[in-house]
C-alpha cells in the first residue's frame, strides 16, 4: 500500500530538531503494523498541490495548530479533496485536525470546546466495534492535545470511541462494517516524549498551569499505539479490497 500523508501542520523548529518531522511519526506508526507499506507527503499547509484522489491507495490527514473553521485558502480545497476521495472509494483517515476537517467536510460541525484543553493521556470508552476495529478494545487511553472538537456529529457516521470530555473521539463513516473513512481525535502517532517537548516549546504560555501539570503527570501512564496502528492498516486493506472488487476507478 502507498499512503499519501496530507500534512496540515508541523512541529515547532526546536521540536523537529529533537524529534523529527510530523509525517515521520505517521510513517513509523503505519509501518509498525505493515512493514511493506510506504508513504509520501503532500504539504497542504505549505501550498503543495493536492493532485487527484487516485494518486495514493489511501490518504491520511495530520494534526495542525490551525482550526478547521479558520479562513485559510488551503482548507476549502482540502475539504473538497476529501469528499472527492470518498466518492471514488479511496479510503481516508484523519487524526486530530484531520478528524475535525473530515467531520466538517462531511456535514458535521467543529468548534472550540467550552470544556477547555484536552491535554495529556486521556481515557476513552469503546463503543460497539465492528470486526475490523476489534483491536481498539485495547486502545482505551490516548495522547491528546486539542481545544477544538467535533461538536455536531456528521451524518452517516458511527461513534467508535468517546469520553465525557470528547463525545466524538473516533468516528467511522458509512456502514460500520464497511466504512469509507475513519478518524480519531487523540494522537496514536504521538509519544510521551513528543508531547512533553510540545508542552515545553509551544504550550507553556497557552495552557493554564493546573492543566499543564495534570498533563505532565499523566505521561507516567503507558499508552499503547499498536491497536490504532493495526486498526488503521486493516481499515485501509479492507477498503482497498472493496474498491477493487467493485471495479471503482
How far, rounded to the nearest angstrom, does the alpha carbon of residue 134 sit from its chain's CA centroid? 18
Identify which of 10, 45, 44 has the alpha carbon closest to the alpha carbon of residue 24.
10
Q: Which percentage of the chain shows pLDDT scores above 90?
A: 93
C-beta separation of 43 from 23 below 8 A: no
- DSSP-assigned letters across all residues of 4-72: EEEE-----HHHHHHH--HHHHHHHHHHHH-TT-EEEEEETTTT-----GGGSSEEEE---SS-TTS--
* Distance in angstroms between the alpha carbons of the first and the last residue of the chain: 16
| Beta-strand runs (E) in the chain | 2-7, 38-43, 58-61, 92-95, 109-112, 118-123, 125-126, 141-146, 148-152, 157-162, 170-175, 178-184
C-beta separation of 105 from 140 below 8 A: no
Q: How far apart are CA 243 and CA 240, in angstroms?
A: 5
C-beta separation of 40 from 78 below 8 A: no
* pLDDT < 70: residue spans in the chain: 248-249
Dihedral over alpha carbons 155, 161, 164, 165 (to 10 degrees)? -80
What domains, with CATH codes, occur in the chain?
A: 2-246 (3.40.50.880)
Q: What pLDDT is attached to residue 5?
A: 98
Structural Rg of the chain based on CA atoms: 17
Q: What pLDDT is attached to residue 249?
A: 55
C-beta separation of 187 from 243 below 8 A: no
- Across 88-106, b (16+ Cβ under 10 Å) vs e yields ebbbbbbbbbbbbbbbbbb
Q: What pLDDT is attached to residue 248?
A: 63
Cα distances (Å, whole numbers) of residue 233 to 11, 14, 124, 152: 24, 31, 21, 27
Amino acid at each position: 500500500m502507498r499512503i499519501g500523508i496530507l500534512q496540515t501542520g508541523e512541529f515547532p523548529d526546536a521540536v523537529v530538531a529533537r524529534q523529527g518531522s510530523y509525517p515521520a511519526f505517521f510513517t513509523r506508526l503505519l509501518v509498525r503494523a505493515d512493514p511493506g507499506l510506504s508513504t509520501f507527503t503532500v504539504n497542504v499547509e505549505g501550498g503543495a498541490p493536492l493532485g487527484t484522489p487516485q494518486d495514493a491507495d489511501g490518504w491520511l490527514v495530520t494534526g495542525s495548530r490551525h482550526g478547521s473553521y479558520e479562513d485559510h485558502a488551503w482548507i476549502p480545497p482540502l475539504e473538497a479533496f476529501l469528499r472527492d476521495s470518498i466518492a471514488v472509494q479511496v479510503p481516508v483517515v484523519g487524526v486530530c485536525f484531520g478528524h475535525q476537517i473530515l467531520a466538517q467536510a462531511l456535514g458535521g460541525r467543529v468548534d472550540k470546546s467550552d470544556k477547555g484543553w484536552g491535554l495529556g493521556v486521556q481515557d476513552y470508552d469503546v463503543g460497539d466495534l465492528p470486526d475490523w476495529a476489534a483491536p481498539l478494545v485495547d486502545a482505551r487511553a490516548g495522547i491528546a492535545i486539542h481545544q477544538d472538537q467535533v461538536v455536531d456529529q456528521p451524518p452517516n457516521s458511527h461513534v467508535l470511541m468517546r469520553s465525557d470530555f470528547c463525545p466524538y473521539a473516533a468516528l467511522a463513516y458509512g456502514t460500520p462494517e464497511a466504512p469509507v473513512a475513519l478518524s480519531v481525535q487523540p494522537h496514536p502517532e504521538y509519544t510521551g516524549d513528543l508531547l512533553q517537548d510540545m508542552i515545553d516549546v509551544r504550550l507553556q504560555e497557552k495552557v493554564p498551569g493546573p492543566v499543564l501539570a495534570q498533563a505532565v503527570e499523566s505521561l507516567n501512564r503507558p499508552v499503547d499505539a499498536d491497536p490504532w496502528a493495526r486498526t488503521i492498516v486493516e481499515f485501509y486493506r479492507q477498503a482497498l479490497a472493496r474498491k477493487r472488487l467493485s471495479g471503482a476507478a
